[in-house]
Amino acid sequence: MRTAPSSSARLFFCSALEMLGELLKRKLDELDFAGVRIFMEQKHFRLDSVLSAEQKKSLALLLGAVRIRYHLLAGSRKEAEAAYLAAVDLGSDFQVNPLKGELFLQIARYLVTRGETNMALQWAKKSLLQFQGAEDPLGEREATLELGSVLLAESRLDEALEYFTLAEQSATRSPGVGQVRLQALRAAALLAQGNLSRAQTEAARGLEAARRLKRREWELFLGFLAARVLFELGSYEEAVRAFQDALAVEALYPASSARSVLYAWLGRAFAYSGKPEQALRILGQLKESWEQCLFLAETCYFGREYSKALEYCERALSISQSPEHFPGERILWTDGFSDVEGRCLVLSKDGALALRLIQSFQAFLWGLQGSVERASEQLHAITRSGRIPEIDPYQSLYYYWYACILPDLRQDEMDDRLTVLNKALQLLQQRASRIEDSTLRWHYLNDNHWNAGLFAEARKRKLI
């Protein structure tokens, strides 16, 4: 007859389980997949004969959480789905347990990568309640950060930033990978929102922490993010150097998917800094993608090769497609937008942002070639359809390109050029007002190529 485990045995098991949980979490944070796989296979967990029902439940919660996170970090989509389906009914009782908090947290992370943000939000809240009930401050901080990440995915930027601040304030130990991720997410949110001065500060802080902690993947992404902020500000030569710095990091710690994105943006920065030859040389050597084709179209535009630019737009449209999954804990590196603007899922679902950028630039080029009616029809559909979400950071650009191709004297069935230009100006000023540093705000309005053109036209029309 089997006897119930003694109280001392239960205490030993709880202590051992807690240590095992910390060990597995550390191995996952360090992407030590080989080490985690040993535990997942349970070769050292032949304990059924000595564990109580409650202890078996705790072990199942731990391994359920580990399996989901392991497959998400490894990029194994089908395996992550299977782990989610196997674990979703675990922890359905009313008992408070930090292991349930960990499991619910991983379920939330999985659902975000599927774009199911409403469900993810509910699971993240359940995770937070478990950690709070168990008085687990580290778990509570992690769940708070995840809530912010889900709110960012739902395009609720102000709320997301509030949760990021709460997570940072609840830090109880030296910064780790969670703090680096927090600063990367906050910098991405601030860039999408338009607060480029704070985005720049957060990216710099995160980059310093990533280097100190030797978190190379996050170091590479934060370096890219810092370069992207410089590009948005119109500091194109500085952006070139920043993208080159990021490529130097990638050369030391190879990441092939990141390399393609970094080179694409380096080529784009060269084009905007007045060096189209370097841009064409770099972009021409990359594997074809919608982003690479769009940047080649921009480069041809600067060289007034409008027909060739339109060919690249057509190629970009033929390649652009809806993403299969969305950003999670790891960086996707599918293109330079997916891990920044794409964290607001309304911008990445159905390839919406890519399509607007390509189609609006295509119509702008049509207008420059004299096909005004065709161009006007497409830009009218983009700007007047009501489908552009408020969070889209390129709204003013779509309206500016529209204004550029409209005739000075209004024609029947066409929008008024001055009205469209004024709308573009209002959207730009609204976005620029979020930049807290007045010097950087001036650079954004006067050095950014398209913003400078819009401002010059607005002054000419006496709109400012």
Residue 149, C-beta contacts closer than 8 angstroms, at least 6 positions apart: 112, 160, 185, 343
Tell me the residue type at 170. Answer: S
Summarised one tens digit per residue, pLDDT across range 400-418 is 999 999 998 777 778 899 9
Query: Which pLDDT value is given to residue 8?
Result: 54
| 220, containing H or E segment | helix 216-233
In angstroms, what is the C-alpha Rg of the chain? 25
Query: Which pLDDT value is given to residue 1?
Result: 41
Measured between alpha carbons, how far is 195 from 189 in angstroms, rounded to an integer?
9
Measured between alpha carbons, how far is 337 from 228 in angstroms, rounded to an integer?
10
Query: Which pLDDT value is given to residue 171?
Result: 63
Summarised one tens digit per residue, pLDDT across range 108-152 is 999 999 999 999 999 999 999 999 999 999 999 999 999 999 999
Do residues 226 and 200 lie in contact, with contact meaning Cβ atoms separated by under 8 Å?
yes
Q: Which domains does the chain have, with CATH numbers?
A: 174-254 (1.25.40.10)
Taking alpha carbons only, the member of 357, 318, 362 closest to residue 337 is 357
Regions of the chain short of the pLDDT cut 70 = 1-16, 42-50, 171-175
Record the pTM: 0.93
Report the residue count for the chain.
Answer: 464
Measured between alpha carbons, how far is 171 from 167 in angstroms, rounded to an integer?
7
Taking alpha carbons only, the member of 58, 182, 95 closest to residue 66 is 58
Query: Which pLDDT value is given to residue 27?
Result: 85
Measured between alpha carbons, how far is 40 from 292 in angstroms, rounded to an integer?
40
By percentage, how much of the chain surpasses pLDDT 70?
94
